[in-house]
């Protein structure tokens, strides 16, 4: 019972990671610049650094890549003050 459950769990994890790494390679080559303009000029080191995270978070990144949506902008008091020109 536990052995078959463990086998299924390991197989599902391996499948998720295999799909994730296949997606991540394509994403760091083409997709990262589409959803984040600041990453468009990212170096090879940057792209290698984000590869494991892209593989782990591939469902979220795939959705954003398909939508073409940029990351949301952080809203806080410091950003608002800088935009209003109220810097000290």
Q: Does residue 60 surpass a pLDDT of 60?
A: yes
Evaluate whether 30 touches 68 at the Cβ level (below 8 Å).
no
Q: pTM for the whole thing? A: 0.71
The pLDDT assigned to 71 comes to 65
Give the whole-angstrom CA distance, residue 55 versus residue 14.
12
Q: Give pLDDT tens digits for 11-30.
A: 999 999 999 999 999 999 99
The angle at the Cα of 71, spanning 40 to 42, to the nearest 5 degrees, equals 20
Helix (H, G, I), strand (E, B) or coil at 11: helix
| Mean pLDDT, range 56-69, rounded to an integer | 89
pLDDT tens for 63-88 read 989 987 766 677 888 878 887 765 55
pLDDT score at 39: 87
Residue 34 has pLDDT above 90, yes or no: no
| Tokens, residue 21 | 């790494």
Is 15 within 8 Å of 49 (Cβ atoms)?
no
Q: In angstroms, rounded to a whole number, what is the distance separating the alpha carbons of residues 31 and 63?
A: 11
> What are the boundaries of each domain within the chain?
2-71
């Amino acid at each position: 019972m536990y052995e078959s459950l463990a086998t299924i769990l390991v197989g599902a994890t391996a499948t998720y990671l295999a799909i994730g790494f296949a997606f991540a390679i394509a994403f760091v080559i083409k997709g990262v610049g589409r959803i984040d303009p600041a990453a468009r000029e990212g170096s090879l080191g940057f792209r290698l650094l984000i590869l494991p995270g892209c593989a782990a978070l591939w469902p979220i990144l795939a959705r954003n890549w398909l939508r073409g949506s940029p990351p949301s902008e952080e809203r806080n008091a410091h950003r608002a003050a800088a935009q209003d020109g109220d810097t000290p």
